[in-house]
Amino acid sequence: MRNKEKSSVPEVVYHYTSMNALLGIVEGDIWATNILYLNDISEYSHFINLVRSRLPHFARSHSFRYPDLIPRLIARRTRRSHSYMDVPFVASFSQDRDSLTHWRSYCPQGNGVCIGFRSASLRSAYLEKAEPQMCLAGFCAVNYLRPDDLKSLDLMISEAIADSERLVAAMEPGQGTIASVANRVGSMRAQFEFRSGMIKHESFKDEREYRLIVSLFDHGDLVSHRPSRTTLVPYLKMRLTDPAQVKSASLRVRSAMDRFIESVTIGPTPHPGLSADAVLGLLRSKGFGARVEASSVPFRDW
Q: Which amino acid is at 150?
A: L
Does the residue 301 lie in any domain?
no
Average pLDDT, the chain: 87
What's the confidence (pLDDT) of residue 255? 53
Antiparallel, parallel or unpaired: β 12-18 and 29-34? unpaired
Does the residue 237 lie in any domain?
yes
Does the residue 300 lie in any domain?
no
pLDDT digits (tens, 9 = 90+) for 284-301: 999 999 999 999 999 887
131-140, 182-191, 277-286 — which one is most confidently predicted on average? 277-286
What's the confidence (pLDDT) of residue 3? 41
Three-state DSSP state, 105: helix
Calpha distance 53→265 (Å, rounded): 43
**Rg for the chain, CA atoms, rounded:** 21
Beta strands in 74-208 (DSSP E): 89-94, 112-118, 126-127, 135-141, 143-145, 199-201
* Position 1 confidence tier, pLDDT thresholds 50, 70, 90: very low
pLDDT digits (tens, 9 = 90+) for 221-266: 999 999 998 999 999 999 999 986 444 445 555 455 579 999 999 9
Please list, in sequence order, all residues whose beta carbon lies within 8 angstroms of the beta carbon of residue 115, skipping any fewer than 6 positions away.
Answer: 14, 15, 17, 22, 25, 261, 263, 264
Does the residue 91 lie in any domain?
yes
* Position 200 confidence tier, pLDDT thresholds 50, 70, 90: very high
* Predicted model pTM: 0.85
Number of domains in the chain: 1
What's the confidence (pLDDT) of residue 177? 58
Calpha distance 288→264 (Å, rounded): 11
Does the residue 68 lie in any domain?
yes
Q: Is the pLDDT of residue 71 over 90?
A: no
Does the residue 164 lie in any domain?
yes
* Position 167 confidence tier, pLDDT thresholds 50, 70, 90: confident
Number of neighbours of residue 178 by Cβ within 10 angstroms: 9
What's the confidence (pLDDT) of residue 2? 43
Q: Is the pLDDT of residue 43 over 60?
A: yes
Q: Is the pLDDT of residue 274 over 80?
A: yes
- Among residues 168, 138, 219, which one has the least CA distance to residue 66? 168
Phi, psi of 41 (to 5 degrees): -70, -15
Domain assignment of residue 264, given as a range: 6-294
Least confident of 79-93, 132-146, 166-180: 166-180
Q: Give the residue, 106 or 179, on which the prediction is more confident.
A: 106
Does the residue 137 lie in any domain?
yes
Does the residue 131 lie in any domain?
yes
C-beta of residue 32 within 8 angstroms of C-beta of residue 238: yes
- Among residues 112, 115, 140, which one has the least CA distance to residue 14? 115
